[in-house]
Structure 1
Amino acid sequence: MEVKLNATADHVFGLLTDPKWLEARSLALGELSAKCSARKSGGVQVTMKRRVHRDMNAIIAKVLNPDSDIEIVEKWSGDGDRRQATYALTIVGKPVTVSADIELEATGKTCVYRITHRGHVKVPLIGGVIEKFVVGETEKGCIDELNYLANYLKKNK
């Protein structure tokens, strides 16, 4: 998925690596709890721990809980014109992960954010169904987060 944002890449990067802003975004989007930290060392590593609620059908509920703890680690590198990150989401205590590649590219006074998600589920027989659900929910959440970011940028020029 790709979105053009009406702000500089440096400004967007600053928000995407600001623990307080990320926690506020998560709570504003209805997550049950959110805790975030960022560590700078040759790049920036952002670690988020969130408790989320997701509606799911009975088949998926056999493996996942509607209320789950997730951990997300983003490792950012690059400079002001082009930054990249790896993304790893783990559902705590479940054989389910989502990985992604992220790019944030400067385009003058605006920037482009790109992300591609991949699911990994180690569950026999119904793993494909769970993977499709988890990646779909992750992408829905990503769309909500990007819409929140775009609206925030409009209101806070």
Structure 2
Amino acid sequence: MPTPFSELTRFTAAPAAVHAVLVDPAFLRARAERSGALEHSESVTDEGGVVVVTSSRTVSTAVLPAAAARFLGTTAVVEQVERWDPAGADGGRRSHLTLTIRNAPVTLSASSVLAADGPGSVHTLDGSLDVRVPLLGGQVERAALPGLLQLVRSESALAQEWSAGA
């Protein structure tokens, strides 16, 4: 059974400025480098008004729980696709994020809302982590989720830094 999570980040910048950072290829590269990725690639495309951000990061599994590292080996390839809907009247947007680990039964799925909040904005991320390993899946989810959420918080902090200058 997937393990749910929810995160909220406040920005001093308006939604349009925050979104511009989140889809900026330079920001995506900085995000991958800050996360310690050994290798990474990013792309941003427009599919009829939907902005699609695709990234791939090769990461060391040394930071993962031992149970997860046993399944993955010394490195893992994390693939992420985020699809941002067109902006609403207030500049806010919705997105859907899917994060998978290549050759592993792991999927993180989330929906996000980037909305105006006074002169700034708020970004909410609600989703679940699903590890499809019989008997151990829930245990691996509970062990891995704190690390994944720390990564989300680190990336949010970087986005806050970038958007504050926007």
Indicate how the Cα distance of structure 1 residues 107 and 57 shifts in structure 2: closer, same or farther if over 3 A, else same: closer
How high is the TM-score relative to the length of structure 2?
0.85
Shift of 1:128: 0.8
Q: Deviations over 1:15-62 (max 9, x none)?
A: 111122211222033222221101112210110111122423433322
What RMSD in Å do the two structures reach over aligned CA positions? 1.7
Indicate how the Cα distance of structure 1 residues 56 and 108 shifts in structure 2: closer, same or farther if over 3 A, else same: closer
CA contact (8 A) 2:99 2:108 kept: yes
Q: How does 1:1-150 map to 2 (within 5 A)?
A: 1-41=7-47, 42-54=49-61, 55-80=63-88, 81=90, 82-150=92-160
CA contact (8 A) 2:65 2:144 kept: no
Q: Which runs of 5+ in 1 are unaligned?
A: none
Indicate how the Cα distance of structure 1 residues 106 and 76 shifts in structure 2: closer, same or farther if over 3 A, else same: same
Q: SS of the residue aligned with 2:141?
A: helix
CA contact (8 A) 2:64 2:147 kept: no
Structure 1 runs (4+) deviating above 6 angstroms are none
Aligned residues: 156
* Percent identity of equivalent pairs: 30
After superposing the two structures, state which structure 1 stretch, 98-107 or 54-63, moved more: 54-63
CA contact (8 A) 1:6 1:109 kept: yes
After superposing the two structures, state which structure 1 stretch, 15-24 or 68-77, moved more: 15-24
Whole-Å separation in 2 of the counterparts to 1:58 and 1:142: 21
CA contact (8 A) 1:44 1:76 kept: yes
How high is the TM-score relative to the length of structure 1?
0.89
Whole-Å separation in 2 of the counterparts to 1:66 and 1:85: 32
CA contact (8 A) 1:117 1:135 kept: no
Whole-Å separation in 2 of the counterparts to 1:130 and 1:89: 16
Q: SS of the residue aligned with 1:129?
A: helix
CA contact (8 A) 1:103 1:113 kept: yes
Shift of 1:143: 0.3
